[in-house]
Amino acid sequence: MHKTGIPESSGVAPSHRSNVFSLEGRVALVTGGGTGLGYAMTSCLAAAGAKVIITGRRKDVLAQAAEKLGANVYPEPHDITDLSAASKLIARIEKAHGAPTILINNAGTHVKKTVEEHTHDDFRNILATHVEGAFALTRAAVPAMKRAGGGSVILISSMSALMGLPLVVAYSAAKSAYHGLVRSMAAELGPDNIRVNAIAPGWIETPMLDKALSGDPERSNKILSRTPLGRFGTPEDIGWCAAYLCSPAAAFITGAVIPVDGGASIGF
């Protein structure tokens, strides 16, 4: 211990420092894990040693993803908007695989419309999927994490919660709500060794981005001109950040919103 009272090390025993990024023996649940960023995060968690359960509404997509991702990945069909089914899902996972001590709330939906075109149903549906769905699943997982001695919860936010983006008012509201959930739950659950954080992805090379930028080089150039690293991100950039946040290496990180955006949120 230094004279200032600050520990000289991270608290990880020297004999275990080589494994500080390992998720060996951990059970993870990734919503929307069969496609896109969810697929990439699942791949990275499994590579770090975790057993990963992926959820979604499309059984065939989940089954194909699990087959590609390997023996440590298990499909579990689930609709996150069915709030009453959240505790049943956690119970099934705990019975079959052990207590899920990693939860990544990734599943969501998106509507791109002007403010005038956004209907009340659009707004409610997006908030129900993102905010209510993530809260219901987190609430259901917390008792299992407490019994296991701790856990890590991650919510996948967005650049739309950090800067003003047009045509996504409901989505922006939902992702901004995540930041309040992160801070409040991190403060409450910290004494139970449950950490709660968010990742805010920037512009990531996915089919959705390709579609959005197709035939619009001006928009692509605008994004890259304000991104200090000068490139779009890859899904694995998000996946490895998630793996890090769930690992012992991030044991003192909670209540944080981490932009993984090449610096776009601070670029000019």
Tokens representing 155 are 């919510």
Please identify which of the residues 74, 171, 178, 244 carries the catalytic annotation.
171
- Catalytic annotation present for 178: no
Which 8-state DSSP code applies to residue 44? Answer: H
Separation between Cα atoms, residue 220 and residue 203, nearest integer Å: 10
Nearest to 239 by CA among 32, 2, 38: 38
Separation between Cα atoms, residue 61 and residue 73, nearest integer Å: 13
One-letter identity of residue 134: A
Separation between Cα atoms, residue 185 and residue 14, nearest integer Å: 31
Separation between Cα atoms, residue 86 and residue 139, nearest integer Å: 9
C-alpha distances (whole Å) from 80 to each of 31, 137, 247 are: 8, 8, 25
CA dihedral 14, 20, 22, 25 (to 10 degrees): 60
Residue with tokens 């809260």: 135
Nearest to 176 by CA among 161, 165, 166, 163: 161
Tell me the catalytic residues: 171
